[in-house]
Homo-oligomer: A and B are copies of this chain.
Amino acid sequence: MALETTTLAYELRETLGRLVRRLRAEGGGLPQAQATVLDRLDRDGPASISDLAAAERMRPQSMAQTVHDLTAAGLVSRRPDPHDRRRTVVELTDAGVATLNARRSDSEGWLSEALQRELSAAERERLRDALGLLARLAEPRQAR
C-alpha cells in the first residue's frame, strides 16, 4: 500500500469526522437521520421502511427506529399498503412538509448556507464530482 494512499485514508477519515460533528452541532433542530428521510420522502414520494433502509444502505430495524421517531414528532404518517399488508407506507404529513420548507429557507439548513457562503460555484462543482467518488467507496464491491 502506497504511503500516499494511507495518508489520504487518514485525512478522509478525519475530515469526515469533523464534518459530521459540525453537521450535528449546527443541526437546525432536526437530527440528521430524520432530516435525510424527510428529504428522501419529499424527493421520491411515499415509501416503505424497507425501501428507505435499502436506499440509505441501512438495516431495516434501524430505519424503523428513525421512522418511529418521525412519527412521534408528527412529521410522517404511516398507512398499510393495500396491495401487501406486510408493508407500511410512510409519507410526509403537512407538518413534515412545513418542517422541510423551514429548513430550506433562510435561517435554517446550515449545510446549504455553508456551501453557498464558503465555496465558489466552481468549487461546488468540484465537490459534486468528488461526491461520486465517495459514493463509490460507500458501495459494496460488486457495484464497481
Interface residues of A (CB under 8 A from B): 1-2, 4-6, 8-23, 32-33, 35-36, 39-40, 43, 56-58, 104-106, 109, 111-119, 123-124, 126-131, 133-138, 141, 144
Q: Is the interface of A mostly helix, strand, loop or mixed?
A: helix
The answer to whether A123 and B133 touch across the interface, beta carbons within 8 angstroms, is: yes
Complex Cα–Cα for A109 and B105 (A) = 41
Q: How many copies does the complex hold?
A: 2
Residues on B with beta carbons closer than 8 Å to the beta carbon of A128: 8, 11
Determine whether the beta carbon of B131 is less than 8 Å from that of A15: yes
Q: Write out the residue numbers on chain B whose beta carbons fall within 8 Å of the beta carbon of A35.
A: 13
Q: Which residue of B lies closest to A3 (CB)?
A: B104
Known: A19-B16, A56-B18. A8 touches B126 (CB 8 A): no
Residues of B within 8 A of A13 (CB): 23, 32, 35-36, 39, 111
- Determine if A15 and B112 form an interchain contact, defined as CB atoms under 8 angstroms apart: no
Flag if A9 contacts B127 (CB, 8 Å). no
Q: Is the CB of B16 within 8 A of A39?
A: no
